[in-house]
Amino acid sequence: MNPRARSAGLRPGALLLLIAMLVAGCRTAPPLPPADLSAPGWRVQQGQAVWKPTRSRPELAGEILLATNANGNFFIQISKPPFNLATAQMMNGQWQIEFGSGERRWTGRNEPPSRFAWFQLPRAFAGESLKSNWRFTHIAADSWRLENSRTGETLEGGFFK
C-alpha cells in the first residue's frame, strides 16, 4: 500500500481528536454579561499595577480595578485608558478572561485555570491558599506583589485608600 494514499484520510487518533474538539466546543460556557459593580455587596478597590506576562515579555503598567463580593464573585481589570489590557471575572461558578478588547477570550465553569494571575489575586486578598507556583507578598502597607515562579509572570501594585 502506498503510504501517501493512507495519509489522505483521517487517522483514528485524528478522528477522535476532532470529535473531542467538537464536543468540547459545544460545552463552552457563554460569555458572561457585564458585571454590575453598583449592586449591593460589591467591594471595589482601584489603584495602579504593573503586569509582566512572562519573563521574556515587557512590563505593562496601568490602572487596576478589583471588585469582590461575599458570594466569591469577582471582577478584575487592568487598563491603560482607553484600552483594556486584561479582564477576568468569576460569577456564580462561571469564569471568563479576556485580553485586549475581547480579541482573546476564554470561558468556563467551576474552578478557573490556575495559570492566570487574574484568578489568583482575589484568592490572595481573601486569604485563601494560592495554586502551585504562585506567591503573594505584601511589600508595604498599600502595595503587593503576585508572582509565578515557573513562568515569571508578575503582577505588582497598590490600591488607593
Distance (Å, rounded) from C-alpha 142 to C-alpha 157?
A: 8
Topology, domain 43-159: outer membrane lipoprotein receptor (LolB), chain A (2.50.20)
Strand, helix or coil for residue 132 = coil
On the CB side of 123, CA atoms within 13 Å amount to 20
Over the stretch 112-151, which tens digit does the pLDDT of each residue have? 998 999 999 999 999 999 988 999 999 988 899 999 999 9
User: Given a cut of 70, is residue 47 above it in pLDDT?
Assistant: yes
Q: pTM value?
A: 0.77
Residue 67 pairs in a beta bridge with 44, 75
Over the stretch 55-73, which tens digit does the pLDDT of each residue have? 899 999 999 999 999 888 9
So what's the pLDDT on residue 7? 45
Domain boundaries, the chain: 43-159
